[in-house]
Structure 1
């Protein structure tokens, strides 16, 4: 019995032309090319663009049976090297791999431990690679459910980058004495300065 488990690699996996074939028959990875095809052994090119994992599995199963290669094949399809990056004011920034058909921006932020207290929820930036070296930037408001659900980045894609901006308080803390205008000592100093100026003006006008 030969098993091809799509989506995992082992030390015995070798890469050929972007696709990986296991020397022990246990693991194989197939890259979807720019035309939406995978190059499957013996069956040749299989078009999978727009299919869910279940639909890809059903198609490969049917093609294997049709070619009379295996009487009762079991095909499991998983994602490989599918990840997003989450940076900025989240508790655990980093690169996150996922193995789901649909990953929402809410799911992604939850994986990163939610926003910190300094994160701006109303203006999340999502950068998306739209091909040919071009990127598109989107802004989403997590506090507006209707706007969020209709956003083109509500469902994330491979290699999306989520950036959570810091609030004004956090931005000021990045500079020396950035928050000093908001301390009690600053306002006491300003009050003393204003009183000195007022006294000087009264003295000069007498």
Structure 2
């Protein structure tokens, strides 16, 4: 009975050692039951316009004649006596956060949300009596983030909308390699004339959801660090070696237990 207890203890220890790596590979542990209010979520992902952004400003109105003077565009559609005119203007935000809008002139865009800038353009159109009922939409063109390090497809990602999460960006990059450090993802973010760094633990659901980097911003850089045991060689080769070492270790442990059982039987 004494020897059987020792064998069971050895088996339990081997099982515990085998479980440790898998726990470090699991994302969002403890996320069950965590909640965020809609107001908090909306506040977290509302983008602000920054220098070097490329803006797409669309102006439309039922009053085709007035808006045609403003936009010098062509009629896109007509229904009865109602005409719709639409103009698309690509504008770059300069280093001071300014844009040059046709007819309206220079306007402040940096630091504003898309809705705030759209409201400002609408007000200027009305004040200048260019059009009485403008509808303005502002989009950020070329919203980009970079993903590098221990991911399967590193590179620059261009986002079609203006909202993307850290998890989505990592998914677009093909997920982390087995050698990627999941509990210490580095995010580098430009904030005005400063660069800030954040770390995110993907294995903790609470830390991921509460991170200021859950929603990414323009020009964010995501760096997935390798585990300490990983050197400077290629991640695929290292992953193979790591997996092989784990298998050899497990086989050696099993053989050791089997040998122990055989010796006890012989006695």
Q: TM-score scaled by structure 1?
A: 0.63
Task: Kindly report which structure 2 residues correspond to 1:103-122, keeping only aligned pairs within 5 A, or say none.
Answer: 103-122=164-183
1:89 — aligned with what?
150
Change (3 A) 1:130 1:74: closer
Deviation at 1:84, TM superposition (A): 0.9
Change (3 A) 1:24 1:64: closer
2:264 — aligned with what?
none
- Cα RMSD (Å) of the superposition? 3.7
1:32 — aligned with what?
93
Answering whether residue 212 of structure 2 is matched by residue 152 of structure 1, we say: yes
Does the 8 Å CA contact 2:186/2:199 hold for their aligned counterparts?
Answer: yes
Structure 2 residue ranges without an equivalent (≥5): 1-54, 58-70, 75-86, 253-267
Deviation at 1:106, TM superposition (A): 1.8
Deviation at 1:79, TM superposition (A): 0.8
Aligned counterparts of 2:226 and 2:72: Cα–Cα separation in 1? 49
Deviation at 1:95, TM superposition (A): 0.5
Q: Which residue, 56, 63, 77 being the options, matches 1:7?
A: 56
Change (3 A) 1:108 1:161: same
> Would you say how many aligned residue pairs link Structure 1 and Structure 2?
167
Deviation at 1:34, TM superposition (A): 4.1
Deviations 1:76-124 (A, max 9, x none): 2111232111012223211011244433212221222322333221111
Change (3 A) 1:47 1:173: closer
Q: Which residue, 160, 163, 166 being the options, matches 2:226?
A: 166
Structure 1 residue ranges without an equivalent (≥5): 1-5, 9-21, 189-206
Aligned counterparts of 1:109 and 1:23: Cα–Cα separation in 2? 43
Aligned counterparts of 1:41 and 1:85: Cα–Cα separation in 2? 32
